[in-house]
Amino acid sequence: MTPIRSKKDSPGRNLLWAPWRMEYVESAGEKQRGCIFCVKPGENDDRKNLIAFRGKTAFVILNRYPYNNGHVMVVPCKHTAELSALDAAEQTELFRLLAVSQTVIRRLMKPDGFNVGMNLGRVAGAGVEDHLHFHLVPRWNGDTNFMPVTGCTKVVSEGLEITWKKMFDAFSAVKNIQ
């Protein structure tokens, strides 16, 4: 989205319109009921909940507040904060979905690289402490510019609904995911 200049704003400063962020702003400070990674799949509304793929023991969900376009999380169905609590089949599927997600994103978005990681525990930066999950963030040359560095603003250029539809269709087309 192109920044929109406003006559009400001070000279030399642009406004960046992102009305979809209001949901996040309004929910800040609200206490989440239940684990988001347990509640959302149980609602059986994958489009609304941005679930791009469901496996037997894990699923892929778009991050509702992404760092970059295509930022997904790969999540085990089992509610646990410990990798060692997952059996071999669960660990295998989790890693397999991480690899398939990278392939899907590479085909759809053609990033130059990826950040992959998980934060285990509050001190490690976990936003959801009790349910482990991998983050997979596509990166492009030049995607860090003056906006996040000096303006404390990150621009995500494609709507989540559009990204979800592309990913859902791409996962549906992949053979032998599991």
E strand or H helix that includes residue 139: strand 134-139
Give the separation between CA 85 and CA 157, rounded to whole angstroms.
38
What three-state secondary structure class fits 78? coil
Contact at 8 Å (CB) between 132 and 76?
yes
- Beta partners for residue 145, in sequence order: none
Active-site residue, from 71, 79, 131, 133: 133
Q: Which of 169, 147, 165 is nearest to 68 (CA)?
A: 147
To the query of whether residue 133 is one of the catalytic residues in this protein, the response is yes
CA 67 – CA 155 distance, rounded (Å) = 9
As annotated, the active-site residues are: 133
